[in-house]
């Protein structure tokens, strides 16, 4: 999996990294149980600080998306992802609401918004091959 960071962006590096790993899992390029690079090697690979990688991993662990073992290293949660609960859905709402408000203000229709969402959703969503659950 390729990580692309924009060092010019004003989005914190650890956030970009977190988002990319989330998208990797969501898209199926990272599968449950699959190993992630160690903090040290990932940091040196993409040329950023150890602490930054660590912070990203800690956030992902906190959401139960990954597990961090002292010996075995870092793996995508082998039991699969936690489902959306109320807390998650509230957070999503709070984040998406201002985006929708600004879109309405600029005259974007509900249809256009839905199309945009659908396009992005399908761009990320993995192809649903019926029997794609086997361990690699």
Partner DNA sequence: GTGGTCTAGACCACC
Partner DNA sequence: GTGGTCTAGACCACT
13 binds DNA (CB under 7 A): yes
**1 binding partner (options DNA, a second copy, none; Cβ < 5 to 8 Å by kind):** none
Find the binder of DNA among 20, 28, 33, 68 (CB under 7 A): 68
71 binds DNA (CB under 7 A): yes
SS (H, E, C) the chain: CCCCCCCCCCCCHHHHHHHHHHHHHHHCCCCCCCEECCHHHHHHHHCCCHHHHHHHHHHHHHCCCEEEECCCEEEECCCCCCCCCHHHHHHHHHHHHHHHHHHHHCCCCHHHHHHHHHHHHHHHCCCCCCCCCCCC
Nearer to a second copy, 1 or 12 (CB): 12
Q: Please report, in angstroms and rounded to a whole number, the separation of the first and last CA atoms in the chain.
A: 15
CB of 44 to a second copy, least distance (A): 18
Find the binder of DNA among 29, 41, 93, 109 (CB under 7 A): 41
1 binds a second copy (CB under 8 A): no
Q: Which two tokens stand for residue 118?
A: 């659908």
53 binds a second copy (CB under 8 A): no
Q: Total binding residues for DNA by CB under 7 A? A: 23
Nearer to a second copy, 44 or 92 (CB): 92
Residues engaged in binding DNA (CB under 7 A): 10, 12-15, 38-41, 48-52, 54-55, 58, 68-71, 73-74
């Amino acid at each position: 999996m390729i990580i692309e960071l924009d060092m010019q962006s004003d989005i914190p590096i650890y956030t970009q990294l977190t988002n990319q790993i989330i998208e990797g899992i969501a898209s199926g390029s990272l599968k449950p149980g699959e190993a992630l690079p160690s903090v040290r090697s990932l940091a040196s690979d993409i040329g950023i600080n150890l602490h930054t990688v660590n912070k990203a991993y800690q956030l992902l662990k906190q959401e139960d998306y990954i597990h961090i073992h002292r010996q075995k290293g870092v793996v995508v949660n082998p039991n699969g992802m936690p489902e959306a609960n109320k807390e998650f859905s509230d957070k999503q709402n709070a984040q998406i609401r201002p985006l929708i408000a600004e879109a309405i203000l600029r005259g974007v229709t509900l249809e256009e918004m839905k199309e945009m969402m659908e396009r992005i959703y399908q761009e990320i969503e993995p192809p649903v091959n019926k029997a794609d659950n086997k361990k690699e």
